[in-house]
Chains A and B, each alone.
Chain A
Amino acid sequence: MVRIMDKKNNNSDEVILKVEDLCMFFGKRNYVKKAVNNVSFDIRKGEVFGLVGESGCGKTTTGRTIIRLYDATSGNVYFKGQRIVAGTGSYKNELRNIKKEKKKLNAEKPADYENELKKLDERTELLKKEIKSAVHDHKAANSSKLAKNIQMIYQDPVASLDPRMTVREIISEGLVIQGVKDKKLIQEKVYEILETVGLVREHADRYPHEFSGGQRQRIGIARSIIMQPEMIIADEPISALDVSIRAQVINLLNDLRNSMGLTVLFIAHDLSVVKYFSDRIGVMYFGNMVELATSDELFAHPLHPYTRSLLSAIPLPDPNAEKGRVRMHYDPLADHEYSEEEPEFREVGEGHFVRCTQKEFEQYKKDLESPAK
């Protein structure tokens, strides 16, 4: 087991989760849906990282791939320096192709086919090695119980709670699976957690349908924090809730974050809440991360046209501003010229990344130095 090297307390420079060129494709050869395409970002200890974008852009898929609910196509995810996700899908695909090519070569026997075959064999060897190491890492991650350090809060508080289990069973399920047998201990922990999230002890023996939406979401949160995780992936935890209850849940998450030192990957589409809650924000569009910056920087100087259109769409509780609001339209066809050069993820300002071509990069840099108007 890898020992974590340093523990700089409260210093948020320590990277807790590192996502590297993560790809998650769905579908077969002729119809591939690139749900997550080459996404990389770091999350530092104790920070809230917001992930925004329209529905279907791959936010949730990113979150789910990180906790390996899906098998990643390629790319790696490191949690506290240990690899927990290693994408093997693309390797397997390549292996399959190599097999076919070999067959073809053997059948046709062109001029220097032996050389070709040798090359292919070398490649096969390499790929197999990669897959082997990935499998090994997955096993290591499982046995080191690192998994329990990342927990997830789901979007729909109604669908994510088993209607036939009492609240006690729901909350303590994780503990039981991890092998805790002492019933008294479990009970104490459940009561403690219930009180932390603002429910009372009597609630432990009730069923989920007896609670309101906000209380159900609190149960979901209780379930995820009973394992004392270091990181929480919150997948739209408030979008199914009422206004007045939203504020309660956000305040709760904020309190928990301060008292337990949680790191949060906050996936949401309500931008004013994301702005309020997150330290840094990543903007996704059609599987690509298009812009990443601290939340103040992103809202003050949005560079990518998609981010601008997204920010211009936020409804504000101010009728006059709303009546005069001009929504910017984002049309990738009209806004970019990608026919010559593929865009890359570049650092424009300090900690401010944008996906752009070289030409756009210079333009953005200029924009950032002299904020127009």
Chain B
Amino acid sequence: MESKLKVQNLVISFKTASGKLQAVRNISFDLYKGETLAIVGESGSGKSVTSRAIMGILANNAIVDEGKILYGDKDLLKISEEEFHKIRGDKIAMVFQDPLSSLNPIMKVGKQLTEAMLLKNKAARRENRADMNRMFKALETYMEAVGEQGAIKADLSRFRKFEIKHCELESRYQSSLAYAQELLALSENLSLRIKKNSENNIIPDMKEAVRAAKEACSRFVINEKAADAAKLSDELINAYKEGKQSGDRKRTPELLSELGRIADEALKKPVPDTFSIGYYLTYVQNSIPDDMDVTELNAKAGEKMKADFLDGFLGRIEKAVRYSAQQTNQARSEALKLFQKMLPEFEGKLEKSTAAKNADELKKAVAAGIDKLEVELDSVMHTFATSIDYALEHYFSAVPRNEAEKKRFESETAKYERLKAKGKQPEWEVVPASYVDVDAAQAGITDIMKEMMSHLQYKIKQNEDADFAARTAEIVDYLKKCAADSVYRISRSAAKERAVKLMESVGIDEPRKRFDQYPFEFSGGMRQRIVIAIALTADPDVLICDEPTTALDVTIQAQILELINNLKKERDLSVIFITHDLGVVANMADRVAVMYAGKIVEHGTVEDIFYEPAHPYTWALLSSVPDLDTKDKLESIPGTPPNMIYPPVGDAFADRNKYALAIDFERQPPMFRITDSHYAATWLLHPNAPKTEPPEIIKQRIEKMRKKRNGENNGQEEQ
């Protein structure tokens, strides 16, 4: 399976007045594409801190001591804030725990929903235009070197001109299509409501249908029947009102079903090739005959464009791509040689000024090896400069900081001992010394270099056996997309329409009325739905849900879980689901990680965790939740989690664990492998440990679940 997000050896601590609080202690996990990973644990176990680290929104006093969070090939802990802007919210979105504090109380919810859309749209227009111009410029410079500058300039200006037409056509087509879909849905819904005699608030929805019918009329959607649709929809509201007065109510459903049929017909039409048609309209003929079939038009326009423009354009781009590949490969091999020369110097004793000079040389060499015609920006090469700067800074600041820390620790300990010797019991404790591992910091620098070297080798190889035709097509597609996005403007009303749709899809009644209300007018469940809708506005890749349903009641919880599950399937989302409700975990998760005191104590598939739990903490969690048949006293976990400023030497759960062994208080257990997918960190799994059974209540429950499952299977077989 493709891994979407990788967390490796993450260590996070917080600087507080009373010492360094270790919130996350060396955790690693992978998130695969299209799966849900549930992180379970009590509050304070570091679940939320992990998710915040992924979003890059840790509090100011947080220190990331170690580790990596890889999204694609970007390390989210190292990339710059500008780059993070493109990821946060767009690619990785988050639903927060407390809907009350994650909404702005003095802004109407509608505005909060559309705000991100409008801002992102504005930024996207600017960015796409910049991207397009960058690509144009790169093409021009490379073609200049080959000697065909004039031809490509003519091509590009042509492309710019007809692309505008293409975008116009496409957006008109898409919006009409959406309205036709809405018309179909509304006509069915309204008919049902009239049939069922439930006509509260029906007039606004009818007006909506009338509007949809009018907006859906365009060249490629409702074309021939446009006059019919207009006539029918004009009649609709009057017919309804008259019917209500006179009692003869047949006319309205008739009108609605007729409108529905027209919409349905329009939706089945073939898709127009707006790119070619745009070219055709700009350069061949500035209007198209009304009765021409769409497939015919597609073929005709496509042919014309290919002969006139596209073939030459593609040929020229391919030349440029070949040239640039050759150039960059040369630069890359030179960079590789430089790296090999420099590596021993960075492995030896480091001196600040020479190290900085050498690093500058490396940065220059890497920058020369960047191919400007690449569609997908190579983040490893682009972020090399920032990451090596960061690593050097980390190393050179660690040396004096360690000195100061040592001094402080020694003086404080001496003072403490002096007081103790006088027979006093001081009220304060000595804050433990926190040193930065200098060797690890240096290894971090060389690691970055080694990674770059292997990456360069891979890139050189990739360029040698590249498919240039495919790359050319990729560039043209990219230019098309940039051009479309650079003129695509979401108007305020369109954003409102989209927001209303989103509100409807997360289950908010009367979204139009709710759109203009303030957050305090919503109940907790409704507020949480708004928060989820906001997270979904940008179509993210990875969704982090931090206890999204904790404040909601069962029915709404079930709805929201279903909503998230559906979205996950539709968009192939990867979800990190943080919760402490085990029922929800059983419903949502594909895999589960149980966290306690900043560590993952057990992880495996859902079946592993629920049917064969191995860690005493998982047992305790499972047995403290009543299910529908529980009658006995619940087994609560005694005590509270440990203070992580002074983390316990041994297993952190040992104090609250009635199965704790002597070794639990002395040494931390490693991860024991149970099956290939199931791991747990408890000494009970050591071959020399005494055999321990999970508590009775869990055994009974598992037995019951087994029986139920077998019963179901048998039943199916019989059928």
Contact = CB atoms under 8 A, between A and B. Distances in A.
Contacts of B636: 244-245, 247-248, 251
Nearest to A318: B705
Interface string B551-595: 111111110011000000000000000001111111101000000
A334 B558 contact: no
Contacts of B625: 243, 246-247, 272, 317
A54 interface: yes
A250 B634 contact: yes
B679 interface: no
B622 A315 contact: no
15 contacts: A55-B556, A243-B42, A243-B580, A243-B621, A247-B636, A247-B637, A272-B625, A272-B630, A313-B554, A319-B587, A319-B606, A319-B610, A319-B611, A320-B709, A334-B196
A254 B635 CA distance: 13
B624 A243 contact: yes
Contacts of B694: none
Contact of B626 (A239, A275, A310): A275
Contact of A299 (B197, B550, B624, B628): B628
Given A247-B636, A275-B628, A318 B552 contact: no
B640 interface: yes
Nearest to B558: A313
B568 to A, nearest CB: 14
B207 interface: no
B624 A244 contact: yes
Given A54-B555, A315-B581, A244 B620 contact: yes
B579 to A, nearest CB: 9
B634 A269 contact: no
A321 B193 CA distance: 35
B697 to A, nearest CB: 11
Nearest to B623: A247
Q: Is the interface of A mostly helix, strand, loop or mixed?
A: helix
Interface stretch (A11-19, A86-94, A122-130, A322-330): A322-330
B596 to A, nearest CB: 11
Nearest to B706: A320
A321 B708 contact: yes
A330 to B, nearest CB: 8
A339 B197 contact: yes
Contacts of B525: 54-56
B427 interface: no
A242 B586 contact: no
- Which of A242, A299, A327 is packed against the most chain B CB atoms within 10 Å? A242
Given A247-B636, A276-B634, A327-B562, 13 more contacts: A54-B556, A56-B523, A244-B620, A244-B621, A244-B624, A247-B625, A272-B625, A273-B626, A313-B557, A314-B554, A315-B554, A320-B708, A321-B586
Contacts of B551: 239
B624 A246 contact: yes
Given A243-B42, A327-B562, A333-B196, A315 B584 contact: yes
Interface in A83-137: none
B628 A314 contact: yes
Interface string B601-641: 00000110011000000001110111110110111110010
A241 to B, nearest CB: 9
Contacts of A246: 624-625
B259 to A, nearest CB: 22
Interface residues of A, number: 43
B36 to A, nearest CB: 12
B201 interface: no
Contact of A242 (B43, B557, B558): B43
Nearest to B592: A319
Interface in A285-343: 299, 309-310, 313-322, 324-325, 327, 333-334, 339
B499 to A, nearest CB: 22
A55 B626 contact: no
A270 interface: yes
Given A317-B586, A318-B586, A243 B581 contact: yes
Given A247-B637, A333-B196, A55 B624 contact: no
Nearest 7 CB-CB pairings of A with B: A315-B583, A269-B553, A247-B636, A313-B558, A276-B626, A247-B624, A244-B637
B2 interface: no
A299 B629 CA distance: 10
B610 A317 contact: yes
